[in-house]
Structure 1
Amino acid sequence: MDPRDLLAVATDESVDPYRREAAIKRLGEVSGPSERYLEALASGEALSPIEQSLATTVLDERLRARTNE
């Protein structure tokens, strides 16, 4: 799935929260602008504090993995 589509799912109030969380996790696995999208979610675009925290965690894990390469 395209990172823009994942971001759209992650920020759509009509989408089930579990699907939004799955979209955030998937953003951590795909390349492209997904890191920028995770940063936006972590800085407040996420719909709930839990999703904001998840975006922060996924972003941290992605950055840590990149540093360990």
Structure 2
Amino acid sequence: MREQDLYIIRPSGQGWAVHLAHAILARFDDRPKAIEAAVVVAEASARLGKAAGVVMEEGDERIVVWDAGRDAYSRLS
């Protein structure tokens, strides 16, 4: 099975943090900025041929934001 670069957006203090594995990549005051940054780095991973995805944690729930080139706004073909 191919390893996936999974970028996780989690609440952090008064803002949001983007995590990869056990590392915090960046912190943001606004959730939309954290989402945008996570998608940008996930797209870069995908361009390098890696499986990549972005999820956001809210409480006990994980919401898929972006997955290997398809997000909630992409049309299914």
Higher helix share: 1
Higher strand share: 2
TM-score (norm 1): 0.37
TM-score (norm 2): 0.34
